[in-house]
Amino acid sequence: MIVDGQIWAPHQAFYIQSMLFNCHSAIRSVSRVDAVFEKLPKEVTEDDLASLPTHAILNELQNIVIQGAALSRYFWPVRNDYEERGRLLRAALSVDDSSPLKARDLRNAIEHFDERLDKYLASGISGYIFPEFVGPRPIEDGVSGHFFRAYFVDCGVFRLLDGEYELDVLISEIFRISSVLQQVDEDGGVFPSA
């Protein structure tokens, strides 16, 4: 509820806790992936990469994207009726249009995944098909490669169907927002200027 151009103070804690849930879920996924990669030797071989728990890594990376998309909806609501709330939350948490959370392709990748999957599969994919892949980005050799889910370790890119997401910038923004939310929560659960 917006009162006098602000989110009503008793309601602010609900937004804070809801967004903290998304941040904490993403941060747990970051920690799990980091723990796996920290176990690798300094000189990583193809065998080292092949022994990684690919499915688990990709699940965690996809969760980061999912939580980023969920946070995005707080700041840039789908329906115009909630735009004022989005504007107030962006102001309270210093989120601007340069935030990686604003990227519509990120949100659409998650919100419309079922439709994108239908189109992707109907496009008549051929060539090399990788349901799951973790490793360096393959060199283009003239034969098309298709990745259902992939993480290219050499450039920090998560691929989901035909969309690619730079995780470092997304993760940095989630950590930043989490830090601000945590501080606001500890200071009484009210935004300084919402």
Alpha carbon distance 154, 174 (integer Å): 22
pLDDT at 193: 62
pTM score, two decimals?
0.90
Domain boundaries along the sequence of the chain = 2-110+167-186
- Cα 65 to the chain's mean position, in Å? 2
Q: Give, in order, the Cα–Cα distances in Å from 166 to each of 7, 19, 153.
A: 32, 21, 11
Q: Give, in order, the Cα–Cα distances in Å from 97 to each of 69, 100, 126, 132.
A: 15, 8, 38, 32
Per-residue pLDDT tens digits for 145-167: 788 899 999 999 999 887 888 89
Per-residue pLDDT tens digits for 107-160: 777 778 888 888 888 888 887 888 999 999 988 777 777 888 999 999 999 998
The alpha-helical segments, DSSP class H, found in the chain are 9-38, 46-50, 54-75, 83-92, 104-111, 113-122, 167-186
pLDDT at 178: 98
When pLDDT is averaged across residues 82-94 and rounded to a whole number, the result is 95
Per-residue pLDDT tens digits for 16-69: 999 999 999 999 999 999 999 999 998 988 899 999 999 999 999 999 999 999
Residue type, 130: F
